Amino acid sequence: MKKKLYSVFVMVLSLVLSLSLLSGCGGKESVSLVGGWDSDDYELSLVFYEDGTMEMSESLGYDTMNYEWDGETLTVDYGGEILEGFLNDDGSLVLDGDVVFVRVEEISYYPSEDSEPIPFDMTDTAWDAGGIIYNFYSDGTLIIDGEYLGNYDWDGYSGTLYIDGSSTSISYDGEDLYIAGEDGELYLMDYYSAADYDLYDGMAGGDDNGDEDDGGEELAGAYDNDDEEMSIVFYSDGTVVMSDFEFSDEGTYTVDGDYILMEFEGQFPYEAYYDSSDDSFQVDGLDGWFYYVDEAWYTP
């Protein structure tokens, strides 16, 4: 009887060892990234899909991109820039060196349906609509197809183009730029290049940033102040926008030689003094200098 029980024990033990060896030969199964991930520190969310695409989102917008995952290293093609990531021992995902995501059933950071798109700055850019090139300059000048000289106004979401007594509208929906045709239909505008300032010099005269604007009398464009972390944008219609990462306020401005006066509703006026030698100015009561930039940095 003992001999029979011993034989059965040996058979069971052999079977267990065989299964263990087979399991070991199969290797460690790769962990899937498919699903949602949140980074509370950066207020970002990721969603990975089985087809190799993913979405990165926040409260103001989202991007779609491609990824590769070999079980150890995550590679993300972020608009031509390659980001790498890996899984920590605790199951968290580390992307681009220090952005830590944790797996979630439902992501937390994504645009709400009623959120307003971020204002779009089209200063000093050129756009193609049906083979016609539109150049938009920082002083409000508009040149169409290298032949027609006009001007435009733009508030970040919509604007109007003026040429030879006629006008048409343009608009931004948070993703794309459109121009209204004579038939009332909206036509997509594709980004073409930076604005052509050789064309500007030949048709409108002057320079590209106001360095020769006779002491600021033709002041227009964007200026940043890194000490105060503020931006000021002057428009050719006499309006000005002052902003930082938290707020944005619109007012009016006037220029008298090197003296700039900016007025905002409910606030004391700001006085500034322009230095045409390096296209900068200093505002009374604020530290540092505002210097010319292609696009305002300190905006909400």
For each successive 10 residues of the chain (300 residues), what is the average pLDDT? 44 45 51 94 93 86 86 86 91 92 92 68 90 92 91 89 87 88 90 89 62 46 91 86 90 87 87 82 90 87
Burial readout 75-85 (b: 16 or more C-beta within 10 A, e: otherwise)? ebeeeeeebeb
CA 281 to CA 231: how far, in whole Å? 12
Q: Find the distance separating the first CA and the last CA of the chain, reported in whole Å.
A: 85
User: Is residue 27 domain-resident?
Assistant: no
Pairing of strands 44-48, 53-58: antiparallel
Residue 281 near residue 271, CB atoms below 8 Å:
no
Same domain, 225 and 193: no
pLDDT value at position 210?
41
Judgement on whether residues 78 and 129 belong to the same structural domain of the protein: no
Q: Which residues pair with 148 in a beta bridge?
A: 144
Q: What is the pLDDT of residue 113?
A: 65
For residue 210, being part of any structural domain is answered with no
Domain boundaries, position 161: 125-203
Residue 130 shares a structural domain with residue 162: yes
Q: Which two tokens stand for residue 203?
A: 């048709």
Number of domains in the chain: 3
| Residue 179 CB neighbour total at 10 angstroms | 19
**Do residue 245 and residue 274 come from a single domain?**
yes
Give domain status of residue 190, yes or no: yes
The beta strands (E) that lie in 14-131 are given as: 35-39, 44-48, 53-58, 61-69, 74-78, 81-87, 93-95, 99-104, 125-129
Domain boundary (203, 231, 254) is at 203
Q: Does residue 17 sit within a domain?
A: no
* Length of the chain measured in residues: 300
Name beta bridge partners: 77. 66, 82
| pLDDT on residue 209 | 42
Estimate to the nearest angstrom the gap between the alpha carbon of 120 and the chain centroid: 9
Q: CATH code at 247? A: 2.40.128.290
Last residue of one domain, picked from the residues 137, 169, 203: 203
What DSSP element (H or E) covers 21?
helix 2-25
Residue 111 belongs to some domain of the structure: no
Same domain membership, residue 194 and residue 129? yes
256, 285: one domain = yes
Distance (Å, whole) CA 167 – CA 180: 10
Sign of torsion, CA 80 84 85 86?
Answer: positive
| 154 occurs within a structural domain | yes
Whether residues 233 and 185 share a domain: the answer is no
Q: Is residue 298 part of a domain?
A: no
User: 211 in a domain, yes or no?
Assistant: no
Same domain (yes/no): 235, 184: no
